[in-house]
Amino acid sequence: MNVTIVDYKSGNISSVINSFKEVAKGKVNIEVTSDLNKIKSSDKVVLPGQGSFKSCVDALNNINGLVDTLNEFAINNKKPLLGICVGLQMFADIGYEETETKGLGWISGKVLKINNQNGKFKLPHIGWNQINIVRKSKIFQNIENYSHMYFVHSYEFIPEDKKVILATTDYSSNIVCSVEKENIFGTQFHPEKSDKIGLQIIENFIKL
C-alpha cells in the first residue's frame, strides 16, 4: 500500500513524515511528494498544512495541476484523504485569514478567527486540550473520549452540516477539531505531535 504525504512547501512537515514512517514500520510505503502521478496512483493521501489559510491555498495553487489531482483523488475516486491542521481548514469553501480566500470546497463551511472573548483566551491556541468525540469513526478506534491532543491554531473551521463533525474541543467555544465526510477525514489538532494517542490515529488512518 502507498500512502502519499503531499509536500507542497507549506512549512516544516518533518514530524508528520517521521510519525507516519514510525507507524508504517516499513510495511506500508510512505511517499513524500508533489508529483501528480504518484499522488494519483497512491492508496491514501495526507494533506498537512502549516501557516496561514491563504499561504497554504496559494502554495497548492502554485503547483500546476495539484488541486485538480487532489479533487480527482478525493472527490471523484473517493479515496481516503486526511487533512491535518490547515490541511483540514482548506476543505472549507472559504477562509478569512489575511484576506478572503477560496478553499477546496470539499466540505461546505468557512474558516474564521477564534473568538478570544476580548483577550480572555490567548491566540494562537497552543498546547494540549481535551477532545470530545461526538460520533463514532474508524479513525478514533481505540481512542478514549476526552483524550488530550496537541493544538496550534488561531482559526477554526465552521462546517455548515453539523453531521460531518467527529470531535470538538472546548477553547473559548466548542471548536470543531475533527471531521469526516465519506472518505475525507480531518483533524485540527496535530496527531503527529500528540504522543501515542496521535500515533494511534495515524495507524487507524493507514489501516482504513
Number of structural domains (the chain) is 1
Residue 190 annotated in active site: yes
Q: pLDDT, tens digit, for every residue of 192-208?
A: 999 999 999 999 999 99
Q: Is residue 21 packed enough to be buried (19+ CB in 10 Å), middle (13-18) or exposed (0-12)?
A: middle
119 Cβ contact list (under 8 Å, min separation 6): none
Of 56, 85, 125, 203, which is the active-site residue? 85
Question: What is the C-alpha separation between 107 and 163, in angstroms, rounded?
Answer: 11
Residue 175 has a CB neighbour count (10 Å cut-off) of 22
DSSP state string for 141-207: TT--TT-EEEEEESEEEEES-GGGEEEEEEESEEEEEEEEETTEEEESS-GGGSHHHHHHHHHHHHH
pLDDT at 2 (0 to 100) = 97
pLDDT at 100 (0 to 100) = 97
Instruction: For the chain, list residues with pLDDT below 50.
Output: none
pLDDT at 106 (0 to 100) = 98
Backbone φ and ψ for 85, nearest 5 degrees, come out as 60, -115
How is residue 177 written as a grid cell? Answer: 477539531
CATH code of the domain covering residue 36: 3.40.50.880
How is residue 80 written as a grid cell? Answer: 481516503
Q: What is the CA radius of gyration of the chain?
A: 16
Of 31, 97, 156, 192, which is the active-site residue? 192
pTM (2 d.p.): 0.97
The boundaries of the domain holding residue 144 are: 2-207
The SS3 call for residue 112 is strand
Residue 153 annotated in active site: no
pLDDT at 61 (0 to 100) = 97
Residue 98 annotated in active site: no
Question: What is the C-alpha separation between 33 and 5, in angstroms, rounded?
Answer: 7
Which residue in this structure is represented by grid cell 463533525?
165
Of 31, 156, 180, 190, which is the active-site residue? 190
pLDDT at 34 (0 to 100) = 97
